[in-house]
Structure 1
Amino acid sequence: MREKGGLIISRVCESRPPRGSSLSLLTALGRIELTLREVIMFNWLRGKKRAASSVSPIGPLAFKSNDAAFAYACHQMQSDLAEGVFLPAIVLDASKEFGTQKAVATDAKGIQTALLLVCSRDGGFRVMAQTASKDGPTITVGDLVAWQAMAFRQEFANLGSDERFGWMGLVLGTLKPEWHNDVGWVGADRFR
């Protein structure tokens, strides 16, 4: 049974690994998975960090599409990048960007790995991210998702033309293209 609307995040908005890089994408994804587990365990041991939020004077906003919501977030909302911050992101087609077999990969444990365009003032940056668990929505190209920045790793930053490719994080759930002044982005389905 899926919980709807269980994810709400606070305020939020082009990197690409060079072709033929010495570290293959599959090797990098394996390292990301291992490192993410370490980061999650470390964060659990030291306690959770809450993302700072501030209330905007604007009212509820409903966007016609996920792309429109993402563009608004990039240009109008706070999108500072730091450990623990939640940002909206758009799921991209990894098969077109990297030549992978699928747009969004799913491993034997049910964890999904996707290429994301994460909100930033310059229109977004790319990262590879995994879902927080196997229990949740099936993410597809074009979905608006909640991404939480977990840690920065220089070895992954070196794979891309944009240093921000080194940010590791988790997809916590899908978002509706709706912003509510009192709660932020409205969640659709979350990973449990």
Structure 2
Amino acid sequence: MAEDAPHRKFTSTMEAFEHACAEHDTLIVPEQPLLAMVLESVGDAGALAEGDGCAQLTLKAASEDGGFVVISRTTFAPKQTLHPGDLVCWVPLQHDADLGARAGDERFGWVGLVFASFEPQWAGDEWVVREFFE
């Protein structure tokens, strides 16, 4: 991670996302969290509530080239609805090479889960958690 001020509040989630792409470690490593932004949802109000209440989301994960798209879901039902533009903690777990090849970007093949949502704020050495999904 790049050196950051002990506390930084960004003016928008897009500014925070662009900062993560340019200044933070964006190497894809299994079980290593990455900042991601909700792009769109499959359903109303930012997420598709599945039978277990988890949300299915289309995300743009932070990377040096400005981000890459993945489909993911939350670990548990969010208490606060997730909307396009919200920042989340996405954790890649394993790679599906066939899925990545079909999509034209091998990074799309990463399968992972969303564990939390973030505020567009950096404090100390981490993003400020809005909600941890538990």
Higher RCO structure (Cα 8 Å, ≥6 apart): 1
2:103 alignment partner, SS class? coil
- The unaligned stretches of length 5 or more in structure 1 are 1-10, 12-54, 95-99
CA distance, structure 2, for counterparts of residue 57 and residue 126 of structure 1: 26
Q: 1:158 Cα deviation (Å)?
A: 2.5
TM-score, normalised relative to structure 2? 0.90
Amino acid at match of 1:69: A
Q: Report the Cα distance in structure 1 between the residues aligned to 2:69 and 2:119, rounded to whole angstroms.
A: 21
Question: Which structure 1 residue ranges, 4+ long, deviate > 3 Å from structure 2?
Answer: 100-103
Unaligned runs of 5+ in 2: none
Aligned-pair Cα RMSD in Å:
1.8
After TM superposition, the structure 1 = structure 2 runs for residues 12-161 of structure 1, keeping only pairs within 5 Å, are 56=3, 58-94=5-41, 102=44, 104-134=47-77, 136-161=79-104
Separation in 2, partners of 1:112, 1:58: 33
Larger-gyration structure (1/2): 1
- Structure 2 residue aligned with 1:171: 114
> How many equivalent pairs are there?
133
Structure richer in helix, relative to its length: 1
Is the contact made by 2:12 and 2:120 (CA closer than 8 Å) also made in structure 1?
yes
Q: Deviations over 1:66-113 (max 9, x none)?
A: 11100011011111111011111110124xxxxx55553221221110
User: Between the two proteins, what is the percent identity of the paired residues?
Assistant: 29
What's the offset of the Cα at 1:57?
Answer: 5.6
Structure 2 match to 1:180: 123
* TM-score, length basis structure 1: 0.64
